[in-house]
């Protein structure tokens, strides 16, 4: 792994950093209050290439690679975790279509996501009764002549109320993972309905919705990849997605640490700055060390992915470590803020709430440990 960034990676990171500093950090509290990310923000992300960082230029992507994507994600999440998860899912959806799609599917959806025409992408795998165990999903896709009829319901779908396209998994034959296939579902498909909006603890500017699919009729060419090959596609997409979520957690922890350090320098007790107390210094030292370790794990997984090597174990390691340490760092930095950290007057309480879900979505910490242990013991 090369620890030096190349020119493209530096440029993508700096672009994301400048955007986060100017448009996200100053506005993230407002986005949360208004419970939405303004469309202009998503349009600007698209125009900067940040909704398609690792997508070929042939489809209007930035073609900057997985490392640049992880670096950009860290910067955007430092500014606004809700914007970051929208970006993460859209990049993941674009990548999965770019990898498994036909030319026509790529032309329509990958280009549409990269240019911002489709606003965002949604990843519809989870169901109310099928979270860690997507192999038990109940949504079905039945072939009727040259059409597919999709029936069922999905749960927890990020950006479902404004995404232009859904990558959606449904059962095309018997039980188990072999009976699952992947479909591309445009948002205006008849019978596709966004139902409940989740009232969440954090990431409140990102929408998370339930979906119902009531005899959604799709053309034959809505199938992505091979019939029955859906589970493999989902697992491959999640491997890459875990790098994104690890990077997101690093970004939120970076914001928390920056704010904790600034507060510690500023706040005086017992006649001196609280940064002079060893207890505070140790919290800062441990946090900085763990944050750097987390970033390195994320970048290692990203560089393996970029090199075309196996990276599933490393992505799981990066995700579990980065998300758990990020939670700890945010909590410590709230402690540094004392009572003020427990109020809405400081951003740290939002970081604590926003970062918590990173240990749950795209595979819980327990599932990451299962993936790692399985690979180590193999
Ligand atoms: C804000 C948010 C956004 C999301 N966005 C999306 C999205 O865009 N698309 C999508 O498809 N899904 C999305 N999800 C769903 C998310 O991926 C699931 O919540 C997650 O996979 C866990 O599933 P579950 O909630 O059903 O928990 P469960 O699977 O019921 O797990 C409950 C607990 O049991 C543990 N557990 C389960 N199985 C095992 C096991 N084998 N070994 C040890 N422990 C186990 C879990 O680790 C967890 O602690 C989102 C969720 C949230 C909260």
Residue range 226-253: mean pLDDT, rounded: 98
Please, are residues 337 and 286 in contact by the beta-carbon 8 Å criterion? no
Best probe residue, ligand 1, of 124, 126, 371 (max atoms within 8 Å of C-beta):
126
pLDDT at residue number 340: 98
Which of 181, 209, 228 lies at the terminal end of a domain, its last residue?
228
131 and 198, same domain (yes or no): yes
- Which pLDDT tens digit goes with each residue over 299-346? 999 999 999 999 999 999 999 999 999 999 999 999 999 999 999 999
Confidence band of 174 (pLDDT split at 50, 70, 90): confident
278 and 290, same domain (yes or no): yes
Which of 78, 97, 119 lies at the terminal end of a domain, its last residue?
119
User: Two tokens at 249?
Assistant: 């957690």
Q: Is 2 part of a structural domain of the chain?
A: no
Best probe residue, ligand 1, of 89, 249, 364, 366 (max atoms within 8 Å of C-beta):
364
Q: Is 211 part of a structural domain of the chain?
A: yes
Number of domains in the chain: 3
- Which pLDDT tens digit goes with each residue over 81-102? 999 999 999 999 999 999 999 9
Please, are residues 139 and 169 in contact by the beta-carbon 8 Å criterion? yes
109 and 13, same domain (yes or no): yes
DSSP H helical segments within the chain, as ranges? 7-19, 28-34, 39-47, 65-79, 81-100, 103-105, 111-115, 230-266, 278-306, 312-336, 348-356, 365-377
pLDDT at residue number 354: 98
pLDDT at residue number 177: 96
pLDDT at residue number 3: 86
pTM (predicted TM-score):
0.98
- Which pLDDT tens digit goes with each residue over 155-170? 999 999 999 999 999 9
Looking at 63, 95, 362, 366, which residue is catalytic?
362
Domain that holds residue 325: 231-377
Residue range 43-48: mean pLDDT, rounded: 98
pLDDT at residue number 2: 81
Residue range 239-248: mean pLDDT, rounded: 98
CATH number of the domain residue 131 falls in? 2.40.110.10
- Around ligand 1, the residues with Cβ closer than 6 Å are 89, 123-126, 131-132, 156-158, 200, 203, 208, 357, 360-364, 366-367, 370
- Ligand 1 centroid from CA 127, angstroms: 9
Asked about 226 being catalytic, the answer comes back as: no
Ligand 1: atom nearest CA of 206 is: 1
User: Of 105, 81, 80, nearest to 93 (Cα)?
Assistant: 105
Residue nearest atom 35 in ligand 1 by C-alpha distance = 366
């Amino acid at each position: 792994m090369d620890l030096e960034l190349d020119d493209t990676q530096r440029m993508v990171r700096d672009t994301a950093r400048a955007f986060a500093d100017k448009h996200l950090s100053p506005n993230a509290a407002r986005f949360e209050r208004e419970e939405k990310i303004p469309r202009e923000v998503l349009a600007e992300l698209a125009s900067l290439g940040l909704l398609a960082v690792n997508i070929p230029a042939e489809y209007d992507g930035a073609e900057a690679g997985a490392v640049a994507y992880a670096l950009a994600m860290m910067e955007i999440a430092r500014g606004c975790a809700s914007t970051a998860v929208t970006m993460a899912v859209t990049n993941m959806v674009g990548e999965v279509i770019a990898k498994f799609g036909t030319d026509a599917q790529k032309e329509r959806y990958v280009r549409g996501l990269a240019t911002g025409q489709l606003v965002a992408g949604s990843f519809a795998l989870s169901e109310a009764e099928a979270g860690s165990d997507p192999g038990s999903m109940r949504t079905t896709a039945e072939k009727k002549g040259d059409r597919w009829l999709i029936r069922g319901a999905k749960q927890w779908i990020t950006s479902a109320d404004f995404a232009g396209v859904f990558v959606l998994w449904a059962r095309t034959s018997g039980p188990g993972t072999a009976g699952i296939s992947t479909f591309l579902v445009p948002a205006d498909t008849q019978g596709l309905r966004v139902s409940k909006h989740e009232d969440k603890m954090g990431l409140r500017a990102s929408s998370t919705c339930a979906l119902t699919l009531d005899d959604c009729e799709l053309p034959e060419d809505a199938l992505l990849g091979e019939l029955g090959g859906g589970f493999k596609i989902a697992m491959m997409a999640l491997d890459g997605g875990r790098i994104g979520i690890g990077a997101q957690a690093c970004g939120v922890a970076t914001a928390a640490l920056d704010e904790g350090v600034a507060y510690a320098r500023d706040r005086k007790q017992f006649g001196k700055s609280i940064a002079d107390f060893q207890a505070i210094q140790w919290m800062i030292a441990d946090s900085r060390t763990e944050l750097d370790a987390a970033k390195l794990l994320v970048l290692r997984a990203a560089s393996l992915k970029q090199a075309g090597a196996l990276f599933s174990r490393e992505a799981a390691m990066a995700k579990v470590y980065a998300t758990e340490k990020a939670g700890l760092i945010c909590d410590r930095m709230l402690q540094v803020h004392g009572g003020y950290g427990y109020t809405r007057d400081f951003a740290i309480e939002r970081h604590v709430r926003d970062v918590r879900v990173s240990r749950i979505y795209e595979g819980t910490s327990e599932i990451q440990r299962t993936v790692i242990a399985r690979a180590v013991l193999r």
